[in-house]
Amino acid sequence: MLKRGDVVKLVRVIAETHEAEIGCDECFEQLDIFAETELSGAEAGAAMPLVGDHLDKCTDCRSKFEALLAALRGT
């Protein structure tokens, strides 16, 4: 049986679903460009909205992105 928190999360994910989306593989393929755009001071989410949207929803890809940023920053 689903817990209330699981149902709330599922409804939120469904509500945030867009007609055009990318999966983890495609996001990962573009992650380096997204990170370089972010580090350049540009708004990466505006330049690459599908990647930004995926990172907002996927904690695994978000973790990889944050690790890549840290590595590129040397921290």
Site of tokens 């940023």: 69
Q: What is the reported pLDDT for 7?
A: 79
CB-neighbour burial class of residue 30 (10 A; exposed 0-12, middle 13-18, buried 19+): middle
How many Å is the Cα radius of gyration of the chain?
Answer: 14
Q: Is 53 strand, coil or helix?
A: helix
Q: What is the chain's pLDDT, residue by residue, as a tens digit (75 residues)?
A: 778 887 777 777 666 666 678 999 999 999 999 999 999 999 999 999 999 999 998 999 999 999 999 999 997
Rounded (10°) angle between helices 59-73 and 24-39: 30
